[in-house]
Copies of this chain bind each other. A is one copy, B any other.
Amino acid sequence: MDLPSSPIRRLAALATAAEERGVHVHHLNIGQPDLAPPPEVEAALASAPQIRLAYAPSRGIASTLDAWVAYYRRYGIEVERDDLLVTAGASEALSLAFLTTCDPGDEVLVPEPYYAPYKGVVAISGVHLVPVPLGPGYAPPAAEAFRDRLTDRTRAILLCSPNNPTGTVYTRDDLLAIGGFARDHGLFLLSDETYREIVFDGPPATSALALPGLEDHVVVIDSLSKRFNMCGARIGSFVSRNQDVMRAALELAELRLSVPAIEQHAAGAALTSAPNYLTQLVDTYRSRVGTVVNGLANIPGVDVRRPDGAFYVVPTLPVDDADRFAAWMLSDFAVGGETVMVTPMSDFYGSPGLGKREVRLACIIHEADLSRVIDILRVGLDGYPGRDA
């Protein structure tokens, strides 16, 4: 099988080459934060040598399932163990979502721009992503925008809120409108809620699990990676009250036998950790994102808006081609021995030609370094031969 090619892989080679030349590359290209997990995780891992390395149940270890149930209850969401499956990160949950709700050749509607790796995951399942444009300022699309792209192969709508890359947060009303449309047309609503708590003004984002009357339609894809800074633990969850979906997901999960026992143990500790960890996390990202947005807003020709959540900033740059600019920053540019690796946005669109002047910056380093990044980008944009404004 062939996966869609990605400009991101080409850039990784250029970054390695720059580092081999001795250039310090600020990696703002990947959502791998520099923060530590909750202290409860380190404490739980002290018992790692005593954990029996036996197959865990395919659905997940009972205490980890219970920790997920307790975590959702904090947000007023009542789910049972049977509505849950512990997964190897959001990646596996996504893959299960496509495999359990779609057949090869089916279509899934997804607002664009969207998280680029969705493309590869659907390719494995033989499913097609059909992009639906976001509104101005990356606002959630109205239900009509989905209607325009409905065919007899449409099986699901895939949302991500707070959104990677745009930071869009879908309100309860947005979700009710889109969810109602999904129900009316017999579609599943696949909801990637990896960044749930990271909302800058107001409470955590509404979960699709909180929508009344959509119990048979909603599948939530979740992950501990970002909210608890444990990307490398690869623990997520797959949640649905639709028992046909859950049965099919469990059968697929049985093929991989289990998710690693030690990380499930650590996940239980994270999920039941003190809530002030998340409050501090949001404060950190609010401040970092503010620094980046304000810094970019002061660079002539750059157009930027403050995201509502997650930890990415997506400016439009005064360049001919963001792919080329990102490559040039790594291959032909450095200031004071430093440069910045950004992610061009073209790969986050399904419609060809869009996002040509946009880049994504992940605010996953210290604020002082982020200020330095802004300075480097300013000098880079000044010197870039393809400048276009």
Residues of A at the B interface (CB closer than 8 Å) are 1, 3, 9, 30, 32, 37, 41-43, 45-46, 48-49, 51-56, 88-89, 91-92, 99-100, 103-104, 117, 120-121, 124, 126, 229-234, 248, 251-252, 254-263, 266
Contact = CB atoms under 8 A, between A and B. Distances in A.
B124 A126 contact: no
Given A255-B124, A260-B260, A262-B263, A41 B55 contact: no
Nearest to A119: B255
A232 B56 CA distance: 6
A252 to B, nearest CB: 7
Contacts of A41: 53
Residue from A1, A45, A53, A256 with most neighbouring chain B CB atoms (10 Å): A53
A230 B53 contact: yes
B255 A232 contact: no
A124 B99 contact: yes
A49 to B, nearest CB: 4
Given A1-B248, A232-B260, 12 more contacts: A1-B99, A43-B49, A48-B48, A53-B232, A91-B257, A99-B124, A104-B126, A117-B255, A126-B126, A234-B256, A260-B262, A263-B263
Contacts of A252: 3, 120, 124
A256 B88 contact: yes
A34 to B, nearest CB: 9
A193 to B, nearest CB: 18
Nearest to A33: B54
A89 B121 contact: no
A260 B266 CA distance: 12
A95 B99 CA distance: 14
Nearest to A42: B49
